[in-house]
Amino acid sequence: MADKLTVVAGVIRRNGKLLLTTRPEGKPPYGLEFPGGKVDKNETLSQALKRELAEELGVDAVVFDPIYMTCTPKLDLWFIRAAIPETEEIICREQQQYFWLDPSDEMAVRELFDKIPLLPNDEKFWRFLCS
């Protein structure tokens, strides 16, 4: 049996909006997620998130603390607060799209999620955030 993966996801807010990205092209499943990725061996959660955000979005993020974790038989997914300085420009390096979404704008949330579904583990966290 393969080892269980540990994955990190950045919870990045700016002006009341949360950053969501599509999965990179060629990396199923298709959908929206909080940006991040796999934790490499000998990496801390914070180091992994900082590296992943630099690799995928070209930003130098400030990483704070884990705020939520979900487990499946195949992975442990940590949602970690982070910030991107306003001077940093997001550059999607893996042909993904990004969206700043206000959780209180129910119409915009529904419209986006109808076009691009939120991945199941990210949806659990979204519901936690919005409860």
Q: Tell me the pLDDT tens digit for each residue of 95-129.
A: 899 999 999 999 999 999 999 999 999 999 999 99
**pTM of the predicted model as reported, rounded to 2 decimal places:** 0.93
| Residues spanned by the domain of 121 | 5-129
Q: What is the DSSP letter of 26?
A: T
- pLDDT at residue 16 above 70? yes
* CA-to-CA dists, residue 111 to 15, 23, 101, angstroms: 20, 18, 11
Round the average pLDDT of the chain to a whole number and report it.
Answer: 94
Domain harbouring 40, CATH code:
3.90.79.10
| Cα 63 to Cα 8: distance, rounded to the nearest angstrom | 11
> In the structure, what pLDDT confidence band is assigned to residue 26 with cuts at 50, 70 and 90?
confident
> In the structure, what pLDDT confidence band is assigned to residue 55 with cuts at 50, 70 and 90?
very high
Q: Return phi, psi of residue 31, to 5°.
A: 155, 180
What is the domain count for the chain?
1
**Rounded to a whole number, what is the largest CA-CA distance in the chain?**
44
Q: Return phi, psi of residue 65, to 5°.
A: -115, 150
| Burial class of 108 by CB neighbour count within 10 A (0 to 12, 13 to 18, 19+) | middle
What pLDDT does residue 24 have?
A: 81
What pLDDT does residue 2 have?
A: 62
> In the structure, what pLDDT confidence band is assigned to residue 52 with cuts at 50, 70 and 90?
very high
For the chain, percent of residues with pLDDT exceeding 90: 85
